[in-house]
Structure 1
Amino acid sequence: MNTGHTAAQEPTAAGRAATHRDALPVFTGLAVAAPNGLGTDAFWSATRKGVGGIGPITHFDAGAYPVRVAGEIHGFDAREHIPSRLVPATDRATQLSLVTTAWALGDAELDPADFGEFDGSVVTANAVGGVEFIQRELQSLWSKGPRYVTAYMSYAWFYGVNTGQISIRHQLKGPSGVVVTGQVGGIDALAQARRRLRDGQRFVVAGGADAPVCPYGLTAGMTAGNLSTGEDPDTAYAPFDRSARGHVPGEGSAMMILEPLGAARERGARHIYGALTGYGATFDPHPATGQPPTLARAARIALDDAGLTPDDIDVVFADGAAEAAADRAEATALVELFGPRRVPVTLPKTMTGRMYGAGAATDVVSALLAIRDGEIPPTIGGGDLAGELGLDLVTGGPRPARLDHALVLARGDGGFNSAAVVSRVP
């Protein structure tokens, strides 16, 4: 019976592989605003040298607070980067997200106006909302009265406002969203971006932003009991260390442009930093159940998704909660997955603090730049337990290495775990 198909019409294995490869989600634009560098070049120059941006809190008088140090961005004036009309209507996190989005689009040499109005999407992560904006408006409410609370209060505090403002600013009308999964949000946002590309979007802006360094944000963070009270900026945040006493909060934003590989090459993209090849997420069982945490399983899911084995991973960008039990659990997961001291591990967030929704996204940027430059950035300020825990922690300076695949791990309060694999594109 003639089915209407001939051998010549059937896709070959090579053709299927080429189609799959063309659909690979790749990073064509990167941008970071972090405590140790405003802009990707400044951030990466500091990070690869081990230059930290943690210091005494200067955004407000923190003398009455047990937490006295944080990762603050200095020299950032939103009025120099975004229209003046947006400044009173936006929280600092939104301002940082708008600026880094513009930088990422510029880095990608991608102008949304060159595409259809529904071709571009936005997915951002945010963990604490517009806490600085909330505080300012509550101060007006209690000191002056309700007539002095701006109408912008109706949305400027909201977790999704960064996505909304980016979408409006750049007229990105494709399906968009926000993830609110704490410290892991930056990775989860990239996973959502990959889904958008698989559904046919031409490009996606993805990343995270948070600005928790204000009295309201700091007080909210202290309720969890996991913020460091150390006053020495060099040692306050010390993951995998005997002196670990919790993490240091940080503010920042990291935004990335993702496109299908085939489309990026067709338009002549200036940069293809790497590909998002694997993703995995799990949620830990309640401690009362006695069941173990599931970070290692999240990493295995990501590796399986990427079609890789642990032996293929060249570096791990770890989470580094800087709490004794959490650090030991992460080290156990890494040793279970790779064996003792079998893969280099690093924590560049020791230079910035944990930037909540921006933290894991910034680690992904660091991983991509490490792959590009063949250099693992160091961990600073801690690590004296690393060897005992079975980790090969990169300290003391950058480590040259041929890097093809990096695993980025993140954990959030309450049991969130996410893992991403980013890989070199030949």
Structure 2
Amino acid sequence: MPRSSATGKHALWNPFTFVGHGLASKERVDEALNELFSIKPHLSAALGMGLAALSAALAGSVPAAVAGASIAMIGLVIRFMLKRRFKSRNEQASHREIIRLFVLASSVTALTWSLSAGLLFYAGSTATRMLVIGVATAFVQGAAGRAYMMPGMALINILAVIGVVSIAGYASGNVYLLPAGVVYFCFLKGYLAQVVGHRLRQLEAEQTADRLFAEILEKNELLRVANESLAAKAYKDPLTGLANRREFDREMRSGLEKSERCGQALSLLMIDVDHFKSFNDTYGHQAGDECLQMLARSIAQTVTVPGSLVARYGGEEFVVILPATDGAAARVIAEQIRMQVRMNDMDSLHGSPQRQTVSIGVASCPAGATHSSEIMLAAADAALYQAKKTGRNRVCAKGHDTPPPATLAG
């Protein structure tokens, strides 16, 4: 691969040095190569050289004018052909191959423009020499302006044009043109070194900015994921993994609004673990927590109504929202929950507690009716109180209870 740094003296003269190849993105490198192969500057130079040749011909130096114009035209044609080759390159072509092609194109440019300018300057009149110097200066400045990409080839082009014109001037009797050319070249060489240094610092700064921007995007994504996780945890009960009171309140309001809007029934179950304080006092709070976790899983597995929500309401109380479910269906589901909980074997807990029971209150909002969360909660709580009052381990709804089954062995 071409070298990515051009700060050293030897690298600055290396015609294959591509500044920042290892720092710039592929898009930036491709843009630079397209600019390097651009034919527009050479069209302008050819026009200027044509005017100089015309001036030489009008001054009587026809052979020199024809030779100078022909050399310039040959160089322009070859340059155009190499650009066509660059444009039609294989997409799999490496940057090394492309840069070699540019070195060839730029070498042809340096040879043809320097020979054409030197010939026209040596054989031309004063007016022709003025035109040649103007065209050569424009060519040199153009090469210097694009030297931040490939400074080695730019220096070779500049040296070739300045050197040949200076030698032609010295040979034609202008002894001051040679030292002036040396001074001019040394000035441009220092300028190119500064341009290349600035280019590398710019690319390094852009690379650092891209890296920091990527890090910011990554941190933002991590922060988004963390916020989503935190938001999810804010609506989850940490002990049972069920929805918490906050989530229940939100879903209850939403469910009642949807029930009213769609003309569907909605039911609410309020579940309380029987004698749970005594359970905690007897077997300890750790066993109590494990008991609540087991009961939470039983309730969640029993409720299969689409869109339903099982939540821990607080302490040993659970609530279940049953959308599109009337009172009769809700009582059936409540009874299934009661029986499923009663079947849980607690032998795996410390102290091997007896099977646990729950009391359940059912409240329903019939299709077409309008109830608030407070009304539904009050009705379910009243039904639960009735279940507790009439013996526990039972389901009650609006003052009507379902008798418990035969007592199971503990």
TM tier, shorter chain?
A: under 0.3
More helix by share: 2
More strand by share: 1
Considering Cα pairs closer than 8 Å and 6+ residues apart, tell me whether 1 or 2 has the greater RCO: 1
Larger radius of gyration: 2
